[in-house]
Amino acid sequence: MFTLLELPYAPDALAPVISADTLSYHHGKHLRTYVTNLNAALPGSGFEDSSLEEIVVRSEGGIRNNAGQVLNHNLYFTQLGAPQAGRRPAGALLAAMERDFGSFEAFREAFTKVAVGLFGSGWAWLAADAQGNLRITQEANAGNPVQKGLIPLLTFDVWEHAYYLDWQNRRADHVAALWDLVDWKVIEKRFESR
């Protein structure tokens, strides 16, 4: 059985980019429902002892969608911290970004385009392959780059439930503000321990 992620910060820690109100729905209602639905689908599925990643890669239908949303949200919520302008990566991750995208700024611009341009509901991802090459991917609905054999590093949730209470239809403004929340230490650790 999977449990609801405990948020590593206070409910108002991400305001005003993500309000306590949004967080209470997004974490306390949406993510909780995905966890509940996943646990309800487990008995008899053959995935009772599988990790989230295994379920996402090997299953299909409702169980895959709910496992994907639990995995995606766990990665999303644990990579965020209090708003702080000018946050940027360092170390091996920054070096890989400069190698594969030219600069951090060029990466951010390309990732932003993917997040803002995603039609409907889904996720923008920075992922790495086994050799440490970086890739930006766009995944609809509950998609995760593990399904493409990649290691997920950073993700922006662009389902409307992630921003509508605070930003209404202004997804581009929300995405621009999200960069101030990214805790690059977490992303660097995911990259280095891949």
CB of 151 to Mn ion, least distance (A): 21
SS3 content of the chain, % helix, strand, coil (to 5): 50, 10, 35
Select 23 or 162, whichever has its Cβ closest to Mn ion: 162
Select 4 or 94, whichever has its Cβ closest to Mn ion: 4
CB of 72 to Mn ion, least distance (A): 7
CB of 176 to Mn ion, least distance (A): 18
| CA dihedral angle for residue 107, residue 111, residue 113, residue 114, rounded to 10 degrees | 140
CB of 135 to Mn ion, least distance (A): 22
Residue sitting closest to Mn ion (CB): 157
The one among 157, 166, 187, 190 contacting Mn ion by CB under 5 A: 157
Select 47 or 159, whichever has its Cβ closest to Mn ion: 159
Alpha-carbon distance values, 35 to 64, 69, 163 (Å): 12, 9, 21
The one among 125, 159, 184, 191 contacting Mn ion by CB under 5 A: 159
Range 122-125, long-range pairs (CB < 8 A, 24+ positions): 122/158, 122/159, 123/72, 123/76, 123/155, 123/156, 123/157, 123/158, 124/155, 124/156, 124/158, 125/152, 125/153, 125/154, 125/155
CB of 184 to Mn ion, least distance (A): 21
Q: Residues touching Mn ion: how many (CB under 5 A)? A: 3
- 162-181: contacts with Mn ion (CB under 5 A): 162
Other C-beta atoms closer than 10 Å to the C-beta of 147 total 16
Contacts with Mn ion, residue ranges (CB under 5 A): 157, 159, 162
